[in-house]
Structure 1
Amino acid sequence: MLISKVPFVCSLAIALAFPSAANSGLPSFGETKVMVTADPLTTQKTVSFAQPGRDEMAYVHAYIRENDESLLAVRERSKRYFKIIESVLRKFGLPAELKYLAVIESDLKTTAVSRVGAKGLWQLMAATAQDLGLKVDSLQDERTNFYKSTKAAALYLRDLHRTFKDWRLVLAAYNAGPLPVFRAMHRSNSTDFRVLERYLPYESRTHVKRFMATAYYFDGEAGTAVTI
């Protein structure tokens, strides 16, 4: 989840000064203030960031064993949800694997609420959601709107990737905010997740590993990921 607030700007330069932190039926479609711009370089491609390395497989298997029941429940209802999420990700030129982020954030439940107030399918904090064009007030909370919140999350993920150029760093920044990731890059003098992860908050390191384990559970060893 995004556990603290980050003001949204097209360039995330300002985010250096601020740490960041979805009805259970199918979505109610509608327009948002988010503008969709596809990136032809990444649209519909799969990427290797979701594939665990040999040193990560022990965690992957342990995570799947411990969470098999909940993962199975998500799998049984995921087909239509994933189809919608993938269509939005394609519009933003984002990898389809990012749909698994919604699994680890909320188990694909639009009504999910975290202990710190993050809400919805993508576990957005109120201020972050508002910065992304969602309405969050006493009358409505579009973080619980499947389609609108997915567009907002896609916009945020796209801009995080424009900043960090690495999807594992994006996943860490989605959880903890950009600032801890920049700090880890500085302390490790590296942009390689495997090098700098020990400088990240424990929850953020685990967040990335949970994502890889979930992707492995749904896609399995036969995944055809390619590096881009």
Structure 2
Amino acid sequence: MLNSNVPFVCSLLLALVVPSAANSGLAPLAKTRMNMETGSSPIEKTVSFALPGQDEMPYVHSYIQENDESLLAVKQRSKRYFKMIETVLQRFGLPAELKYLAVIESDLKSTATSRVGARGPWQLMASTAQDLGLKVDSAQDERTNFYKSTRAAALYLRDLHRTFKDWRLVLAAYNAGPLPVFRAMQRSKSTDFRVLERYLPSESRTHVKRFMATAYYFDALSA
């Protein structure tokens, strides 16, 4: 679930919460509505962040076994949505593997709603969606518009990557918000996900593992 109002406070958090990170070359998270597609340079494509390590494979196999039926249902549903998502991700210079984030967020259901009010295929909170340029009011809720919400999520993911420079950290920040990731960096004195993950909220650690398991299911087992 994408945390609300974080794009506007990340630069301040870098300076106040983790001073060492502010001097480590991490780019500040820019205000998202001002960073549309214009002038964006493509991010180098890689699948390495989505590949589980050998020590992570027991979780991957367990997750796939426990969720086999639901993953199969999403696989059928994905034929309608993956191509569009990949097109949007490519436009922002993002790895195509990020489409699996929508799988673990909502099972690719545009009407999915969480207990805290996140909604749509990318589980955006209302305030965050509005910050990203989506209309959310009594008349309409563009979080349920698959194309528009995908574009908003891609914009936010791009800015998160400009800050953290590591896709696993981006996935954790997408789930918990940047602040817990900054705190984990400070406590671990590292920007390596495998080093700092024990300082992250349990839900965020699981979120990243679920992403890798889902990517493995679609890319390795379904190839």
TM over 0.5: yes
Aligned to 1:219: 219
2: CA distance between counterparts of 1:101 and 1:186? 26
Matched, 1:180 2:180: yes
TM-score of the superposed pair, with normalisation by structure 2 = 0.87
In 2: Cα distance, 1:49 partner to 1:15 partner: 25
**1:138-177 maps to which residues of 2 (within 5 A)?**
138-177=138-177
Distance 2:118 2:109 in 1: 13
Q: 1: distance between equivalents of 2:122 and 2:69?
A: 21
Instruction: Call closer, same or farther: CA 1:55–1:147 in 2, change over 3 Å.
Output: same
Whether contact under 8 Å (1:7, 1:131) holds in the other structure is no
Distance in 2, matches of 1:179 and 1:145, equals 28
Offset of residue 217 of structure 1:
0.1
Q: Does the alignment pair 1:39 with 2:38?
A: no
* Pairs aligned (count): 206
Q: Structure 2 CA distance, aligned partners of 1:182 and 1:33?
A: 23
Provide the residue aligned with 1:8 in structure 2.
Answer: 7
Query: Partners of 2:149 and 2:10 in 1: how far apart?
Result: 20
What is the match of residue 50 of structure 1? Answer: 50
Q: 2 CA distance for matches of 1:15 and 1:148?
A: 29
Measured at CA, do residues 174 and 67 of structure 1 come closer, stay the same or move farther in structure 2, by a change above 3 Å? same
Query: What is the CA–CA distance in structure 2 between the aligned matches of 1:216 and 1:153, rounded to whole Å?
Result: 22
Note the C-alpha offset of 1:77. 1.7
- Whole-Å separation in 2 of the counterparts to 1:138 and 1:35: 26
Question: Are 1:34 and 1:133, in contact at CA under 8 Å, matched by a contact in 2?
Answer: no
The separation in 1 between residues aligned to 2:222 and 2:140, in whole angstroms, is 43
Question: How do 1:122-141 residues align onto structure 2 when only pairs under 5 Å count?
Answer: 122-141=122-141
> Could you give the per-residue CA deviations for residues 100-137 of structure 1, whole angstroms, max 9, x where no partner exists?
00000000000000001000000000000000000001
Identity of aligned residues (%): 78
Q: Which TM-score applies when normalising by structure 1?
A: 0.85
Q: CA deviation at 1:5?
A: 1.7
4+ runs of 1 displaced by more than 6 Å? none
CA RMSD of aligned residues (A): 2.1
CA distance in 2, matches of 1:219, 1:162: 26
Residue 35 of structure 1 deviates from its aligned partner by: 2.4
1:79 shift after superposition: 1.8
Gap change, CA 1:63 and 1:130, over 3 Å in 2: same
CA 1:78–1:203: 2 relative to 1, 3 Å: same
User: 2-side partners of 1:34 and 1:136: how far apart?
Assistant: 20
**Paired AA for residue 40 in structure 1:** P
Where structure 1 has 5 or more consecutive residues not aligned to the other structure, the ranges are 19-31, 224-228
Mind listing any 5+ residue stretches in structure 2 that lack a counterpart? 18-32
- The match for 2:23 is none
Aligned residue runs from structure 1 range 85-104, under 5 A? 85-104=85-104
Is this contact kept in 2: 1:7–1:127, CA < 8 A?
no
Task: Considering fraction of residues, name the structure with more helix.
Answer: 2
Given that residues 8 and 132 in structure 1 are in contact (C-alpha distance below 8 angstroms), is that contact kept between their aligned partners in structure 2? no
Letter in 1 for 2:7: F
- Residue 108 to residue 200, structure 1, CA distance change in 2 (3 Å): same
Paired residues of 2:122 and 2:149 also in contact (CA < 8 A): yes
Partners of 2:7 and 2:43 lie apart in 1 by 24
SS in 1 for 2:36: coil
